[in-house]
Amino acid sequence: MRRILTVALTAASAAVMLLAGAAPAAAAHHLTDGASVNLIAQHSRKCADVITGSTANGAEIGQYDCNAGLNQLWRIRDLGNGYVQLAARHSDKCLDVDGASSANGAKVIQWTCGNGTNQQWKIENAGTGVTRLVARHSGKCLEVPSASTANGARLQQRDCGTGANQQWSLNTVSNPAIPGLFADPNIVRFGDTYYLYATTDGFAGWSGTQFRAFSSKDLVTWTDHGVILDVAADISWADNSAWAPGIAEKNGKYYFYFSAGKASGDTRKHLGVAVADSPTGPFRDALGKPLVPAGAYGGQMIDPAVLTDTDGRSYLYWGQGSSHQVPLNADMTSFNAAQVRTYQPANYNEGSFVVKRGATYYFMWSENDTRSEDYRVAYATGSSPTGPWSARAGVILQKDLSQGIKGTGHHSVVQAPGTDQWYIAYHRFAIPNGDGTHRETMIDRMYFNADGTIRPVVPTIVGVDPI
């Protein structure tokens, strides 16, 4: 089921400011920037739609019954000056008043995003939960002409008034779960709150240095807690390649496992562990050296994940090329090397993750290269946290080209307490023009069949309902 939520509910403080009539965008909360929204006309409850899903400059904008189409989804680009651009997700082109006309009735189109004020829109309060969209160059409002309720009615600009055909709900969808470029998400629940940690993406060679933390009560509304660890500033043995974190709690301390390396010299990756008194940090290096140095085991020392079993014992998983698995000692910062097991299922690449359901352990991993649109998730099962594991049981998450979804992988899974509801966080190529270093973090439902097998996940554009 598709769930639509207003910006006021999902984009936190900046969105509240937008709908309250304060400065419209201006980055009081960066989650507004990059959020994806439907523009819903109040009089007709239809969505602003790039007609026929065209990607051409000059394609007209009309209203149409709301659906899951990317040509009805608009990414907010906060210009920091009280105005935003609205870029269609299918084409990455901006909502534009044709020819920068200041005339009433001038048509509204999509055009390659630029610096023109005819692509800049002020979001003004028009009443509870609704807004007007005012073109900067003309001071006129986006409207459905003659208050038409017909599909295909073309949008235009006109002197601002009080009509519901000039009033719009800016309704967010929850995929990507956190706006911006993030990959390799680790989702976990501490207490009554969900937390999400990820690789900060968008850097050539995955060379980012910072980790951020996000929290949510419902898996839809996320709060950004800022940088919790910067390997360039906080880690003596690394200055680059902050990748793929995992986290666990023990006795009121939070242990943050991560991959990192050097930008020059010996650029091999190591596995580190940092500690904090809060799941939102700040974190400090727990050892002053890698927990698992490069070369200690086969493959790369990357992609840590932690399972804390029902008996309270925690297990660490990591590795590219092979998966290494070991019980952690009670201090959470060491392990007995003699207990390390190495496992390499068919098609294994990276991104190990393990959950327990009933008496069964599910070992999951990512296949193919993260730069490939065929990046995907498969799994096996076992009766203990370190196996032995069954043969590969099948693929549970992969691309869906009908929705423009590519490169789905490096996931994590969380269970809603007291239920058999499971959620999978993963990344995909950013839509429409992403690649293996420009990825977005998603959340969708994951279901088990009656026989305990995992049902293939349906990746979505719209995400999950709040829980």
Residue carrying structure tokens 């299918």: 90
Among candidate residues 33, 143, 184, 444, the one labeled active-site is 184
Active site residue 184: yes
As a three-state string, the secondary structure of the chain is: CCCCEEHHHHCHHHHHHHHHCCCCCCCCCCCCCCCEEEEEECCCCCEEEEHHHCCCCCCEEEEECCCCCHHHCEEEEECCCCCEEEEECCCCEEEEEHHHCCCCCCEEEEEECCCCHHHCEEEEECCCCCEEEEECCCCCEEECHHHCCCCCCECEEECCCCCHHHCEEEEECCCCCCCCCEEEEEEEEECCEEEEEEEECCCHHHCCCEEEEEEECCCCCCEEEEEEEEHHHHCCCCCEEEEEEEEEEECCEEEEEEEEECCCCCCCCEEEEEEECCCCCCCEECCCCCCECCCCCCCECCCCEEEECCCCCEEEEECECCEEEEEECCCCCCECHHHCEEECCCCCCEEEEEEEECCEEEEEEEECCCCCCCCEEEEEEECCCCCCECCCCEEEECCEHHHCECCCEEEEEEECCCCCCEEEEEEEECCCCCECCEEEEEEEEECECCCCCECCCCCCCCCCCCC
Q: What's the burial of 222, exposed, middle or buried (CB within 10 Å: 0-12/13-18/19+)? A: buried
In the set 350, 367, 373, 440, the catalytic residue is 350
Residue with tokens 């968008």: 202
For the annotated catalytic residues, the residue numbers are 184, 350
